[in-house]
Structures are given as C-alpha cells and as structure tokens.
Structure 1
Amino acid sequence: MDAARTHQKVPVNKLERGACLGADGAVAHVTRCLRMISGRWKLPILFRLYADEMLRSSQLLRDMPDVSQKMLTQHLRALEADGLILRTDFGETPPRVEYRLTERGQALMPVLLAARQFAEDHERAVK
C-alpha cells in the first residue's frame, strides 16, 4: 500500500482501532443508522413525512402506489420502533391514525439530504 494512502489503513494500535472498529466505534454507529433506514420503503416514508408534517397511512399508500398495505405497515412499525416516527391513534371509528417524524427523525433528515446531495454531485463527477 502506498504510504500516502494512510486513510485506508486500519489502525494497529488497539486504542486507535476501537475509535473506528470497536463495539462503540464509528463503524458500529453508522451501521446501526443504516439498519434503521434500510428497507425499500423507509426512505420514501421518511421523505414524505419530512415534506408534510403529518400523514395518514392512506395518504402514504396513495403517494407510494407500488407499496402494499402489509409492507407499509411493517416499515411504519419498524420506523416507530427505532424512534424515527410517531404514530398517533385517535381511537375513533372509523380508525384514524396519523404519522409524523419525531425529533430524532427530524435530526436524521439533514444527513439524508446531505447523502442525496452527495449522490447527485458524485453522479455528475463520474460522467
């Protein structure tokens, strides 16, 4: 490996290695974040809830016509379990349930918008 490419080396010192590869290192934190947003419909849900403060599941189904009710429900439950969205059930008949981003979900959006910008810039750079 070229000596100038030190950024690609894994630290050999145990203390340094833990900073990126340990159980509480950077890799573990980023991996946990990626798991929270992985899934075909999680990003569309997050971006829709970012665009509109509150949405009902019926509106999400209309906005994402290829998603099934089952998959939408699974992804909404996972996002809720991860603390990224809040589900409010009004206990009415017919059922009325609304979804919105939590503070943690709102805090994640600048990261996702930066990832979007990176992807656009990268696509232009490699053309």
Structure 2
Amino acid sequence: MIDTITHFKVPVDREERSVCLGPDGSVAHVTRMLRMISGRWKLPILFRLFAEPSMRTSQLKRDMPGISQKMLTQHLRELENDELVARRDFGEQPPHVAYALTNSGRDLMPVLMAAREFSRRHL
C-alpha cells in the first residue's frame, strides 16, 4: 500500500524540492508541455497527423468540421514554432503545403495515448 502512495515520494527537504518546483523542475517542464498542446484544435491536429504521416491543410480542415481556416493556420504555426509539426512547402503554384509530425511530435504521442487511457479508466 505504501508503494502506491505518491505523496510519500515528493521531496520534503528544501534543496530536494527544487527537483520538482524549481525553474528547471518537473512542474516547469510539465507546464511547458501542457502549454504546447493547449488550444481547442491542437490535439485533433496532432492525432490526425499521427494517423496520417503527411497531410495538406485542406485535408486537415476537411477532417475537423467546425475549425476555421484562421484557427487551423494559427494552431499549425504554434505547433510548428514548438517543433511538434513540420511544414513542407513544395514551392508550386497554386501553393502546395503539407504538414507532418516531427520527431518531437512523435515522441509526444505515447504521452497523449497514456493520457487517453487514463481518461478511459477514470471516467
């Protein structure tokens, strides 16, 4: 029973607490990751790009009814800035652009899948 109680594992010593609460601690890193994926459409974009290796903007928009072009573009830019999604411009006319997960984006997917399973088990 004691092995499953997590509050016993939180450092109590002031110096040890910086591991969790310091500027480079666990809380800061998890908060940064949550900021990267926060936004109404970011998770649907990430899961779609996980299912399909590469997608054009029009395909993403078609797969997510209700998203505006402005919001799709904004979220794709934010995901690109956070290096979770890569944009590939083919330099053609009319413009041909495709999006895909980066290595960091693919590394994030097991975390998101674990969150999904957590949600399923804790309705």
Q: Same fold (TM over 0.5)?
A: yes
**1:1-127 correspondence to structure 2 within 5 Å:** 7=7, 11-123=11-123
C-alpha distance 9-105 of structure 1, shift in aligned 2 (>3 A): closer
- Kindly tell me: are residues 112 and 6 of structure 1, through their superposed partners in 2, closer, same or farther at Cα, counting changes over 3 Å? closer
Q: Over aligned residues, Cα RMSD in angstroms?
A: 1.6
Provide structure 2 residue ranges, at least 5 long, that are not aligned to the other structure: none
Identical counterparts, % of pairs = 67
Shift of 1:14: 2.2
- Aligned partners of 2:91, 2:107: CA distance in 1, in Å? 29
**What secondary structure, in the 3-state scheme, does the structure 2 residue paired with 1:32 have?**
helix
Gaps of 5+ in 1: none
SS at match of 2:95: coil
Greater CA drift, 6-15 or 70-79: 6-15
Q: Which SS does the other structure have where 2:88 is aligned?
A: strand
Could you tell me how far apart the structure 2 residues matched to 1:94 and 1:104 are?
30
Q: What SS class does the counterpart of residue 92 from structure 2 fall into?
A: coil
Question: How many residue pairs were aligned?
Answer: 119
